């Protein structure tokens, strides 16, 4: 069975600090997809990134970067120079290849609070 | 615009009164699913469907029903709602060719 663990329940930082959100996953499949979603206070789920299991390249998108390491089954998310607008709950999720995203296993989420 | 539409967005109901939350997608996706989100528990899957007339239980199916009579629609039915079904519900759709699973805006349900 697949599992996603986000050990950090809540993180508080001051604006402009860098922050890393941890995600550890378990799966028996060799082909799978990892996701990060953002849930702002308004409640909707905002897609941030998808990474497939064969692509271990790190990715950077503006202030956001992701570090995927199969050796440690981790897919960590770093926000550089955090801003108040980054305050949200962030979810890491896993989908096995044959599900076509019909089944996403989510972590419990990390609430990020960025204060001015 | 590609979207997943859920209705209603907010609903307060009483215990035992049957209700349906609708979900519709306009992307011709094969796969659709329902999740509930509860504090400290993240999102948990209720039911999913990999095609018309094909549905399967997720992790927390008790107290819910679904149907997939058409590709675009995947309603969630609560035959006899109870207070422990008070939650935030999300519908999602996707296909293997997509980069992401598409989520609806969420339905906040309160059962009193």
CB pairs under 8 A between A and B: 68
At residue B19 the predicted structure's pLDDT band, cuts being 50, 70 and 90, is very high
Tens digit of pLDDT for each residue in B53-112? 999 999 999 999 999 999 999 999 999 999 999 999 999 998 876 667 899 999 999 999
CA distance A50 to chain B (A): 6
The minimal CB distance from A103 to the residues B42, B45, B103 is found for B45
Contact A104 B92 (CB under 8 A): yes
CB contact under 8 A, A35 and B101: yes
User: Three-state SS across chain A?
Assistant: CCEEECCCCEEEEECCCCEEECCEEECCCCCEEEEEEEECCCCCCEEEEEEECCCCCCEEECCEEEEEEHHHCEEEEEECCCCHHHCEEEEEEEEEHHHCCCCCEECCCEEEEEEC
Residues of B in contact with A50 (CB under 8 A): 99-100
A62 Cα to chain B: minimum distance (Å): 19
Does residue B51 carry a pLDDT above 80?
A: yes
Query: pLDDT at residue A98 above 70?
Result: no
Using DSSP, state whether B80 is helix, strand or coil.
coil
């Amino acid at each position: 069975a697949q599992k996603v663990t986000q050990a950090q329940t809540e993180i508080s930082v001051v604006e402009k600090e860098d922050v890393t959100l941890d995600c550890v996953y378990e799966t028996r499949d060799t082909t799978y997809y990892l996701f990060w979603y953002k849930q702002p206070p308004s409640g909707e789920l905002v897609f941030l990134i998808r990474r497939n299991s064969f692509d271990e390249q790190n990715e950077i998108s503006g202030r956001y970067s992701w570090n995927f390491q199969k050796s440690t089954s981790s897919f960590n998310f770093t926000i550089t120079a955090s801003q108040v607008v980054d305050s949200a709950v962030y979810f890491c999720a896993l989908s096995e290849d044959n599900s076509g995203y019909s089944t996403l296993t989510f972590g419990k989420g990390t609430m990020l609070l960025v204060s001015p | 615009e590609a979207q997943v539409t859920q209705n209603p967005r907010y609903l307060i109901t009483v215990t035992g009164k049957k209700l349906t939350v609708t979900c519709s997608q306009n992307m011709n996706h094969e796969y659709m699913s329902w999740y509930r989100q509860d504090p400290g528990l993240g999102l948990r899957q209720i039911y999913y469907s990999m095609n018309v007339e094909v549905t399967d239980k997720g992790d927390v199916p008790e107290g819910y029903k679904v149907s997939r009579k058409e590709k675009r629609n995947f309603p969630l039915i609560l035959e006899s709602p109870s207070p422990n079904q008070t939650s935030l519900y999300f519908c999602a759709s996707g296909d293997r060719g997509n980069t992401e699973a598409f989520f609806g805006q969420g339905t906040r349900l309160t059962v009193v």
